[in-house]
Each structure stands twice: as structure tokens, then as C-alpha cells.
Chains A and B, each alone.
Chain A
Amino acid sequence: MSLQIIKSGLSDTLQDQGRYGYQHLGINPGGAMDRYSARLANALLGKDINSPVIEIHFPSPVILFNKESIICITGADFSPTINQKKIRINQLTAINEKSVLQFEKNLSGARCYLACLHDPDIDKWLNSYSTNLIAAAGGFNGRALKKGDILNFKNTFEYKYLQHEKDFSVLPWKAIPSIKSTKEIRFIKGNEWDWLTGDSINIFEEKSYMILNNSNRMGYRLKGNSLKVNEEVQLISSGVTFGTIQLLPDGQLIVLMADHQTTGGYPRIGHVISADLPSLAQRNPGDEIKFSAVEHVVAEQELIEQHMHLLQLQTASKFKLEKLLNVTL
């Protein structure tokens, strides 16, 4: 199987759950911005949930599939179509050879994930398929997909599911999206939380923040009432993580996202909980968010529950798909 990019999108990159083990060398984990939806697409296909997917933004690419495949799209709803007929997200679609996948309009969310039954036939870089654009390494030749690119897939098993005359067929199981789309983003207090003045603490916990236009895979810049610290202390650089909420010298905030630098020197007033990072990653510039504090133990429970849910879904889907295709996945 292979797919071909007929028209490129804004930024379409291969991503998995991240590249770990190299942050001490300044090489960041990267990986899918919405880790949940990327895993969900794989789980619905009964695959290893860490498998690589294509992260797609809007405007989105036009993709031609040269062979029969089963695909799954999760995350943002960009109104996907196969041969100009609408298909659903969070559900498997079996497609025929020479099918064209397009995305009509941006209905909700910021990025969607495309997973296929077979895995892309590309080499890992430092143990991960994620694209590192700064190092121009990993993923598809270290860059976003562009017009004319052909991505080959490993043909690990043969199957025949669709009749030739059909455009596509929807498989009978789906996921109910479990990512909240409320304004609320939960956080746990950060290492320099106590540096904030009493007024600033009230502002941060009560006011909304708007995501600014210059937000990207590295970080989300926020605009809101500016925050102050009790005394100006120079912080020595140290490690940071996906979700760290940093206070900039002008009193505004930045939330570090998937492509964040490995270290930073701004006060860390909080950390978005891992379970809510997917919903933050689906917010667009102009959207408002509101932070609400939770305990560390809640953050951990939510993360474990999400993971358990995905593993159960993966097991169930694998069983159903094996039966349907009469293969061993």
C-alpha cells in the first residue's frame, strides 16, 4: 500500500507518542500534540497505540490511496470525505484503491490524526517516528509532507474486504470522543507558584486567557491580565516539560507544547495536567481557556484512566478486526 500527497496541507507530519531518551542532548520529545487522539486512532484499528500517525492541520492535504486500506481519523473534525462523500471521524472506514481523501471545512478542533491499518515503511530516528523539524530528522525525511510525496506502507498481511464497485464501507464500531471541549483546562501548581502575588493568584485562578496567533507546536502564547511576582529572582535554567506554564518577563504566559525546548529559565507557575493536554492541543488561536487547579493525585488518576480506556478499546478492536478480515494482527 502507498499513499500520495496530491495537494499539501498547512503542516502534515508523521508523529508518534514522542522521542524519549535524548532530552539531555537537547533533542526534544516532539510527538503528537494531541497524544490522546493519536492513540485513539491506533486503538480503533487494533494497533499498538504508539504507532505513527499523520498529524494534519487545516488547510488540509488531499491524499490519494493507491490500494485498498482501512483508515481512521480522530481529533479535529475537518469534515473528511472519500471521493467527495462524507465520512465520520472516530470510526473505521474501509476504502478502495484509488480513493481520494479530502477535508472540506474546519468544523472543530485544531489538528486531526490519520492512521492506516498498516504502518508506514519508514525508518525510526532515535527510536521514534516523530518528525523533528528543527533537526530536520525523523518522520518523512525530517520534514512536513508535500505535494508529490509517496508514503509507502509495510504489507505485513494481505486481506480483501471491499467489493470493487463500492467507494468505501464504514466498520461497525466507533469511539465516543472523551475529550472535553469546555473552556476549563486543569493544572497542578508549579515550582514557582509561590512567587506569584496574592492578586496574581486570584487573577490566574479566576480569569480567562486567550490563545494568541503566534501559538504553535512549540508553545501556546496566552493573553490575559498580566501577573506579577513578589520579588524578581533570576531563575537558573532547568528542565521543563510538555504542559509547563511559564511566566514571561512581561507578565504574560506561555504553555509549552510538544515541540518545546528541553530546558527553560522562566518561573514555572503551573503544569497543565497530561490528561488535559489533548483538549488544549485542540484549541485554536482566539479561543479562551480558563485554568482550574487540581491535586497531583487527580492528574495522575485521570492519566491512568485515559490510558486504560485506550488499551481496552485497542484489545476489543483488534479482536473484532481479526474476525472481520480473517487475519491475525
Chain B
Amino acid sequence: MYANEFTISPLGDSALIIDFANVIDEGINKKVSGIFHKLKALSLPCIRDIVPAYSSLVVHFDVFAITRKTLINKTAFEIVSEQLKQMIKDYAETALPRSRFIKIPVCYSEKYAPDIIEIAEKKKIAVAEIIRLHTEKKYRVYMIGFLPGFAYMGETDEKISMPRKAEPRLRVEAGSVGIAGMQTGIYPLDSPGGWQIIGKTPVILFNKEKDEPVLLQPGDEIEFYSITESEFTNY
């Protein structure tokens, strides 16, 4: 499906979803995050939240504030979707904003990578090769979900693609770098989790004291680089 085609439908009575396709596709996701950043920058009144995902955007709105401002006999959904439709058409055709590029250090030492040996055995590749493949690619933040600041990044090399663990861990430490399917991600907080853990970053991904508490944003480009245990400790 071409990325300029989309549908808008209600998501309950106080939100709507703009759907481009039911696929994970870099081109479509670029449109989604481009549109997201432009809409977000407008700070539209009555819009509470804009949530981009792989191939869709959810817009949460304030029904009361929207309907109070108009005398037209239309639902808040109709008013918002009509307003958004043209904007999205225009945005989908204009140039995309440049993504931010962020390099993230990861220590792949066994101490921080409880699953790396098992992956090496199952995939019949050396641990060094896993590290090389994981640090070689540039990843895209497709979306953020699950936890505050948890970025779903892709796509990883097929040679290190692994399903989620059959039994999720009750506690994965903040900073742990995991892979699942063709995706990679970093746990921003201590949390239960089922991703295969191949390393840990000393970078803080979630800090509630900051005005912008979350480091990674939808649409960012990420690259990992390998650091030693002592570099990790002294970071």
C-alpha cells in the first residue's frame, strides 16, 4: 500500500486512529513519524495525545472542548477527522523532518548478557559475531510503548533474530538491551520482560527528574557500539 493512502476511524468515543496499513515498513513508518512530529509541533487545542505506532497514529481528543466550540451538529470525531484529513494529505507529500541520530554504548559482556551464550549456541554463531551484527546496523525507533521510554527498534539482522523467551523474567534490569523477533530494544526501567538480553547500556533512558524524561523519540535513528566492562563502570 502506498503511504499516502490512509483510513481514519474512531477508537472509542474520545480518540481516533489514522491507519496506513497493517505492516511493519520503514517507508510507512517514516511517514507516520513525520506526520506525528508536525502535528505535535502544532499543539492543536483539544488534542490530548498523539501516539504514533508502526503504521498508524492514534489521536486522543477532548470531546467536550471540541463540541462546545461549534454550533454545527457534528460529532467530535467528525470534526477532528475532517480537520486532520487534509493536513495529513499535505504532510504525507511534503519532505520529512530529519531524524535525530543517537549512538548508544552497550557492554555485551556475559555479566550483562544472560542470554547471549544461548543465542550463540542456538544460532551457531560466535558471541563476537552477534556483537558485530548488532552494532553494524543503524536502527529506527518505530514506536514507543510497553513502558515509559521503551523504544521498539528495527530491524535486526536475521542471523540474530530470536523469539521472545518462553518464560518471561520477573525482573529485567533498567538498561538491559534485548532482542525479540527482528526487533531490538532497551529496558528503560526495571521490569518483568521476555526479550532475550544480549547486553546492557550505562545510558539512562528514563529520568523522571528531567523536563524530557524519555531519551528516545519515535523516528530516531540509533546505532550501538560495544564497550568493555570497565568502560561501562566508569561511564
> Which residues of A come within 8 Å of B, CB atoms?
20-27, 29, 125-126, 132, 134-137, 142, 188, 190-191, 233, 235-244, 261-264, 268, 271-274, 296-297, 299-300, 303-304, 307
Contact = CB atoms under 8 A, between A and B. Distances in A.
The 9 closest A-B pairs by CB, nearest first: A239-B58, A271-B12, A263-B145, A299-B13, A20-B48, A239-B51, A137-B208, A25-B214, A238-B53
A24 B40 contact: yes
B206 to A, nearest CB: 7
Interface string B166-180: 000000000000000
A132 B51 CA distance: 19
20 contacts: A24-B36, A24-B218, A26-B145, A27-B213, A29-B48, A125-B208, A126-B213, A136-B208, A188-B10, A188-B13, A191-B17, A236-B54, A238-B56, A239-B56, A241-B12, A241-B14, A244-B11, A263-B51, A263-B53, A263-B145
Contact of A271 (B13, B51, B52, B213): B13
Nearest to B12: A271
Contacts of B191: 134
Interface in B90-146: 143-146
Given A24-B144, A244-B11, A303-B13, A142 B76 contact: no
Given A239-B56, A241-B60, A304-B67, A23 B10 contact: no
Interface in B51-66: 51-58, 60, 63-64
A233 B50 CA distance: 26
A134 B150 CA distance: 12
Contacts of A22: 49
Interface residues of B, number: 49
Contacts of B64: 303-304, 307
B147 interface: yes
